[in-house]
Structure 1
Amino acid sequence: MAGNSFNYSDIRFADIQMLRYRLHGFDGLSLRQRQYVYCLSQATLYGRDITFDQFGKYNLKIRKTLEAIYTDGALEHGDKEFAALEEYLMRVWFSNGIYHHYGCDKFVPGFSKEYFRAAMNAVDKSSLPLGDGMTVDDLCNELAPVMFDRDVLAKRVNKAPGVDIVAKSACNYYDGVTQAEAEEFYRAKKAACGDCAPSFGLNTKLVKTAEGLHEEAWTEGGLYGPAIERITYWLGRASSVAENKKQVDVINKLIEYYRTGDLHVFDEYSILWVEALDGKIDFINGFIEVYGDPLGIKGSWEGIVEYKDEEATKRTRTISENAQWFEDHSPVDARFRKPEVKGVTANVVCAAMLGGDEYPSTAIGINLPNADWIRAQHGSKSVTICNLTDAYNKAAKGNGFYDEFVIDRDTLGLIDKYGDLCDDLHTDLHECLGHGSGRLLPGTDPDALKAYGNTIEEARADLFALYYMADSKMVDLGLLPDREAYKSQYYTYMMNGLLTQLVRIEPGACIEEAHMRNRALIANWCVAKGDAVRLVGRGGKTFVEILDYDGLRALVAQLLAEVQRIKSEGDYEAARDLVETYAVKVDPEVHAEVLKRYAGLNIAPYKGFINPVLRPVRNGNGEITDIEVDYSEGYVHQMLRYSKEYSTLI
C-alpha cells in the first residue's frame, strides 16, 4: 500500500488545522468490497461543485478565479498580498465558499481590491470564468463587491431576530423570495398531504418571477445536471460491485430520485436505505441536512462512504438492542414517547471518503433519515465515525487545552481517565437514540419550529444522551466501567457550552450556529435554574464548577421533558423564547477572557480532513486487481486536483 508513513497533521492556516484520517482495516475488505468503496467514493467527490453553488451564488466563479491567479505563475509568490490571497483561497476551499463554515460570516480578504484586479488582468484569460462577451474588468466588477464589501451578501445564513432571514441570507436556495412567501409556499404544499408528507423543498431552488413563485429542481436534467450525471454514472458503476441485492435496490432507487426529482421516490429510497442492513459498506449521497437553509427546509449536498468497524460496533449494537428500554424510561411525558421503537440501527464505522457538506469539515456522528414519519414507521440508522474521532484525539494530545480550562486536578483526572470513552458514548447516544426518540403528536407540522427547529432538535438529542450517561444502566450494559465516568462528560459539556466554544465566536457577535446554540442553551439554562453548576473566578480566571452532579442530572431531565414537549406539540413561541433567552447572547467580558486564554495555547479552533487517495491498480488486461490507498497528498494539491478532476458546473 502506497503512503505507508502516516502523519495525522498537515497544514495549518487561519483558524484551521488540517488532519488526515486512516482507513483502519481497509486491506481486510475483499477486492469486490474495495471496488464498491472506490465507485461510491467517485460518486461522492463529484458533488463538490453543487455544495459550493448552494452556499453562495458567486462561490464557483470566485473559486475558479482565485485558482487561476494562484496557479498561473505570473505573480510573485513571496509578495505579502499574494500570501494573503493564498490564505483566502485555502479558506474558500475549506468552507465550500466565501463564508465561514461554522459562523457563516463572510471572510474579509487580506489583499486589496486593486491587487485582485491587477492579478486578474495578469493571468491567462482563458483560465478565468468569463461568460460570453465578458471582459476581465466585467468579471472583476461582478466579483469584487461580493468579496470586499462587508454589506453585500454579508452572511450565508442569517438568523438574527427581527430580519427577513431568507432575504438577508446569502445561501443560494432562494431568488427574489421573502421569508413570508417561502413559508406560505411550503405551508400550502404540506397542508394538502397530511402526516406523511414528503420533505417539500428539500431538492429545489425557490424562485420568484413575474409569473409568481416556482421551484427549479436539482435533478439530472435540471439544475446541477452535469454534476448529477457524473454522480449517477458512478452510482451505477457501484451497483455492479455491490455486496448484495438490497444495496443494488437502494442505489437504483437513488438514481431514480436523481433523475426525476420526485420526493416521494426519495422517501421510498430512504425506507430502502434504512432497511438495508446486510453488508459491511454503506454510504450517504444526496441533498440531506437543512442547517444551511435559514428556514431549515432545503438540503445541502453531502456524501460519505463508510465501512463497519465490527469490534467497535458491539458497543452501539448494545445501545440499539435496548432502544425500547431507553424510550420507556425517558423522563418525558408518556404522550411524547414512542410506544414501539422500530428499526433503530447503530454502527461504528470508518469513513473511506468525504464529500460536499461533509468535507473538509465533517460530522463525527450521523443519524438518518430526517423525516419524522419514516423514523416512526421504519426506523433510522446511526453511525459514529471512529477513524475521525481517532484523528481528533491524536491531534489533541498534549495541547494544554484541558490544563488551561478545567477547574482542578481531580476533575482533570476524571477527564484523562474517562474522556475519550465518554465522548464516544455521548455521540452514540445522541445519534442512535436521541434523534430517534420521542414522537410528534398527530397533526403537528414537523417544520412548526421554523428557524429554531434545528437548535431544538440538537438540544433534544444532547439532553437525551446526557440524561442516560449518568444512568446505572450504562454500567449494567458494560458501556461505562463505573458510576464516576459520566462526570467527565458532564463537566466537559458544561465547560464547552459556557466557556470554550466561545473561541469560535468573533468579539461582539452572537451565537448563531445550531449546534453551538444547543450547547449554550443547555448549559446556560442549567446555571439559571438551579445550584448544581456555576461559573466561578479563581486566580483571575473563570472556570465551570459542578457542585452537585446528581442535581445537574435532574435539571437535564427537566429540560429534556420541556424540549420534547416543544418538539412534539410544535410550540414555536416556547422554542423561540428558550433559544433567544439562553442560546444566543454572549457575555463580552467572559468572551474576551476566554479568547485571550485560548490564544496563549496556539491551538486552531477548527479541524478538517484531507481525504486519502483511492487509486485502482490494473493488470495488463485493464482489470482492477486492487485499490491502493495513498495518504501522502497535501491539502493544497488535493483541492487543486479536485477542482480539475471533479469540476462540472463551471
Structure 2
Amino acid sequence: MSFTAIALAACSQSPKGEAPWIVDRFDDIKVIRYEVPGFDELPLEEKELVYYLAEAAKCGRDIFFDQNCAVNLPVRRTLETIYENYAGDRTTPEWKALEKYLKKVWFANGIHHHYSNDKFVPEFTEQYFLDVCESIPVERFGELNNMIGTVCVAIFNPEMYKTRLNQKAGDDLLWTSSGNYYRNVRQAEAEKFYADMADADAGNPEPVSYGLNSQLVKEEKTDRIYERVWKVGGMYSPAIEKIVYWLEKAQSVAKEPQKSNIAALVSYYKTGDLKEFDRYNIGWVKDTVSNVDFINGFIEDYGDPLGRKAAWEGNVNFMDKEACHRTEVISDNAQWFEDHSPVDEAYRKPVVKGVSAKVITVAMLGGDCYPSTPIGINLPNADWIRKEYGSKSVTIDNITYAYDMAAHGNGFNEEFVLRAEDRERMDKYGKLADDLHTDLHECLGHGSGQLAPGVKGGELKSYSSTLEETRADLFGLYYLGDPKLVELGLVPSFDVAKAGYAKYILNGMMTQLARVELGKNVEESHMRNRKLIAEWCYERGKADNVIEMVRENGKTYAVVNDFEKLRQLFGEMLREVQRIKSEGDYEAGRKLVEQYAVVVDPVLHKEVRDRYYALNIEPYGGFVNPEFELVEKDGKVVDVKISYPANYVEQMLGYSKNYSFLPNVN
C-alpha cells in the first residue's frame, strides 16, 4: 500500500508562516512541532468535526502499544509511574538514561525501535531500576506492583522479545517475532488457518481481508486455534468503545456522504464484520467532496510477518486547496500513465477507475501515524476495491514542510553529495521532486496494475510489503522523468528528475544506512524497497557506468552518471516487479529481496554512520500534535481553538493520563 517514508536528506523552501521547530532531541530522534495552517478559516461545523475526529484518533493509542508487544503497556506505565513520582536525584547518568529510554518507548509505541524493530538496550542497570522502584510508595504503582518482574524481563533480558518483527528467510516468523498479533501460534498453523478461510471463499469477486482485525490464538490445553476479534465486546473493547463514542459525535455534525461513511465505520467497530469495513472503504473512496477527511481503524499490515494483521491508526486532515492543482492534474491523466506504463499489457488496468488525489493539511496523528508519520497515504488496500472503485491518495504538505524546516542547513548535502551540479539541482528542485514522486507513488503507483486471473493477492507473504512499496516507488521514479510531466506543466525540465534520481540512489545505497545499527541487516520494508531498487540498478547498469561508487578524499559517494539510462532501468525493473505481483511469483520475489535488499556492506555501513552522526543530526523525526479546545456558550459550540504545545514529555504523559483505556494485559 500505502505509506511513503521520509528520505534522510531534505531541501529548504520559502516560509509559509511561523516556522516549526525541534522541541526535543534524544538518541537518534528529533521531535518537531507542526502547524495546521488554514484551520482558523474553516467553517464552524468543520472545526467541530475536526475536534471530534481528533479525539477518536487519540483513543486508540493503547491498542497500538499492545499490538506491538504484549508487555508494552505495563512497561510504559511502570516507567511513567517512576517518572512522575521519583523523588531522588534526577541529574545522575542513570536517571538520564532511564528518562531517554522512556522517551524512546513513547516514540516507538513500545520497547522495539520503530524502524529497525530491534529491542532497545537500556543504558541503566536492572539494580538501579529496582532501587528507583523501591523508593516510590507502593500504592503509586497499583496493579503494576505484581508486574515489576515481567517489566524487568522485558527491559533487561536480551533473549526475550528480541525483535518486534522478524523477516529472516527460513525462520518461523511468528515464533521469532514479538508482535502481539499471534499468541502461541506457529507460522505454518496460521498460514493454514487463513488458507482454509480463503479456500472457502474461493471465487468470491469481493474477497474478505481475513485476519485483518483480530489476534490469532492457540489454546495450550486443547490446541484449538481461534480469533479474538478487535471490536466492541471483543478484544480492545474499552478503547474501541471510546473511539466509537467520538465517531458518533462526529457523525452528528458531518454531512452526507461522510455521515453515512462514519455510520458504516461505527457498524464495523461494533460488529467486527470485515464486510462492513469494505462497505466503509467503498463509501470513503467514493467521497471526493468532503473537505475534512480522516483515517481511523486497523489499516496497515507492515507489522505482521504474514502481512494480514493490521495496526490501528488515526489521521485527521482537510484539503490544502491551493496545493491540490498538482495532484488533480495527475489524477485527471491516470489512464494515460497506466496505458504508457512499461509493464506487460496483460497486467495493466484497461480502465482506471476512481483515482483521486489531493494535498492535505493534517490536524491530528494517532496510533501507527504518531509520533512518526508517513508523508503520503494511498487507500484502501483491498485489490478488488481498488479495481472496481479506485483509490484515494494524499500528500501531507504541512508535515513535509515541517520536516524540511527541521532539516534546513544541517550540512547533509555538503557531506554526502559529491558533485556541485547535483547539489544545485537538489537545492532548486529537490522539494518539487520529492512531492511529485510522493504524488505519483501514492496516487498512481499503488493503484496501478492488476492481478492475473486466479491470483488472490497474498501469495508473496512476508515479501509482500517490500515488493509493493518497490512497485509504487518504481512507478513514481519512472514517470518523474517522463516528458509528459513537462507537457502537463508539472515540471520545467528533466532536471527535476535528475535531482530526485540522484537523491534516491544516494539514499538507497548509502545514507539510509545511518538508521541501521552496526552489524544489522536491513529489515524495515520501505528501507528494503529503496535498497532493492538502488542496488539492482547499480548492478544492471555497471556495463554503462550508470551509477558509480566514487572514492574521493577517503570518502565514498554514490553518483549517477547517466540519468536517462537510469530511467530505463527503473522501467525494466517495474516491469518485472509488476509481473511478480500479478502472477504471485513468490520465489522470484524472494530472490529479488534477499539478493539486493537485505545484506549490508559492513565497511560502507560504518563509514556512513560515522559521517552522518558527525553532522549532529538525527536520522528519525516525529511530531507533537496540536491541541484543540471546544469553546461553548449557552450549551452550544461557538468555536474551536487550536494551540501548539512544544513539550514532548507533557504531551505523552497527558495522552497516557487521558486516553489510556486498556488493562495492562489484553
Q: CA deviation at 1:461?
A: 0.2
Q: What is the rounded CA distance, in whole Å, between the counterparts of 2:23 and 2:231 in structure 1?
A: 36
Alignment equivalent of 1:200, drawn from 205, 210, 215: 210
Does 2:484 align with 1:476?
no
Q: What is the rounded CA distance, in whole Å, between the counterparts of 1:544 and 1:608 in structure 2?
A: 28
> Counterpart of 1:579?
593
> Counterpart of 2:70?
57
Alignment equivalent of 2:343, drawn from 323, 327, 332: 332
* Residue correspondence of structure 1 range 273-422 to structure 2 within 5 A: 273-422=284-433
> CA contact under 8 A between 1:65 and 1:129: conserved in structure 2?
no
RMSD over aligned Cα, in angstroms? 1.1
* Residue correspondence of structure 1 range 38-49 to structure 2 within 5 A: 38-49=51-62
Segments of 5+ residues of structure 1 without an aligned counterpart are: none
> Counterpart of 2:560?
546
1:64-88 deviations in whole A, cap 9, x for unaligned?
Answer: 0000000013332112211111100
Range moving further from structure 2, 121-130 or 440-449: 121-130
Q: What is the rounded CA distance, in whole Å, between the counterparts of 2:558 and 2:508 in structure 1?
A: 10
> Counterpart of 1:140?
148
> CA contact under 8 A between 2:485 and 2:491: conserved in structure 1?
yes
Does 2:590 align with 1:610?
no
> Counterpart of 1:465?
476
Alignment equivalent of 2:251, drawn from 223, 232, 239: 239
Does 2:117 align with 1:109?
no
> CA contact under 8 A between 1:19 and 1:608: conserved in structure 2?
yes
Q: CA deviation at 1:454?
A: 0.3
Q: What is the rounded CA distance, in whole Å, between the counterparts of 2:396 and 2:475 in structure 1?
A: 20
Does 2:661 align with 1:648?
yes
Q: What is the rounded CA distance, in whole Å, between the counterparts of 1:269 and 1:128 in structure 2?
A: 41
Does 2:525 align with 1:514?
yes
Q: Give the aligned residue type for 1:31.
A: L
* Larger RCO (CA under 8 A, 6+ residues apart): 2
Q: CA deviation at 1:202?
A: 0.4
Q: Give the aligned residue type for 1:101.
A: H
Q: What is the rounded CA distance, in whole Å, between the counterparts of 2:136 and 2:546 in structure 1?
A: 62
Q: CA deviation at 1:122?
A: 2.0
Q: Give the aligned residue type for 1:183.
A: E
The residue matched to 1:196 in structure 2 has which SS?
A: coil
Q: What is the rounded CA distance, in whole Å, between the counterparts of 2:155 and 2:469 in structure 1?
A: 32
Q: CA deviation at 1:139?
A: 2.1
Q: CA deviation at 1:598?
A: 0.6
Q: What is the rounded CA distance, in whole Å, between the counterparts of 1:6 and 1:115 in structure 2?
A: 41
Q: CA deviation at 1:532?
A: 1.0
Q: What is the rounded CA distance, in whole Å, between the counterparts of 1:279 and 1:452 in structure 2?
A: 35
Distance 1:49 1:80, change over 3 A: same
> Counterpart of 2:551?
537
Q: Give the aligned residue type for 2:132.
A: A
* Residue correspondence of structure 1 range 71-82 to structure 2 within 5 A: 71-82=84-95
1:64-120 deviations in whole A, cap 9, x for unaligned?
Answer: 000000001333211221111110000000000000000000001111111111222
Runs of 4+ in 1 over 6 A off after TM superposition: none
Q: CA deviation at 1:124?
A: 3.0
Q: What is the rounded CA distance, in whole Å, between the counterparts of 1:398 and 1:533 in structure 2?
A: 27
Q: What is the rounded CA distance, in whole Å, between the counterparts of 2:240 and 2:362 in structure 1?
A: 22
> CA contact under 8 A between 1:517 and 1:584: conserved in structure 2?
yes
> CA contact under 8 A between 1:612 and 1:633: conserved in structure 2?
no
> CA contact under 8 A between 1:302 and 1:357: conserved in structure 2?
yes
Aligned length: 640
Q: What is the rounded CA distance, in whole Å, between the counterparts of 2:135 and 2:451 in structure 1?
A: 59
Q: What is the rounded CA distance, in whole Å, between the counterparts of 2:51 and 2:297 in structure 1?
A: 17
Distance 1:211 1:372, change over 3 A: same
1:162-213 deviations in whole A, cap 9, x for unaligned?
Answer: 2111110000000000111111111111112134211100000000011411
> CA contact under 8 A between 1:40 and 1:283: conserved in structure 2?
yes
> CA contact under 8 A between 1:61 and 1:129: conserved in structure 2?
no
Q: What is the rounded CA distance, in whole Å, between the counterparts of 1:7 and 1:369 in structure 2?
A: 31
> Counterpart of 2:604?
590
Does 2:161 align with 1:169?
no
Q: CA deviation at 1:633?
A: 4.0
The residue matched to 2:495 in structure 1 has which SS?
A: coil
1:342-362 deviations in whole A, cap 9, x for unaligned?
Answer: 000001000000000100000
Q: What is the rounded CA distance, in whole Å, between the counterparts of 1:576 and 1:311 in structure 2?
A: 43
> Counterpart of 1:524?
535
Alignment equivalent of 1:489, drawn from 483, 486, 500: 500
The residue matched to 1:479 in structure 2 has which SS?
A: coil
Q: CA deviation at 1:129?
A: 5.2
Q: What is the rounded CA distance, in whole Å, between the counterparts of 2:67 and 2:142 in structure 1?
A: 18
Q: CA deviation at 1:146?
A: 1.4
TM-score by length of 1: 0.97
1:524-556 deviations in whole A, cap 9, x for unaligned?
Answer: 000111131121111111111211111111111
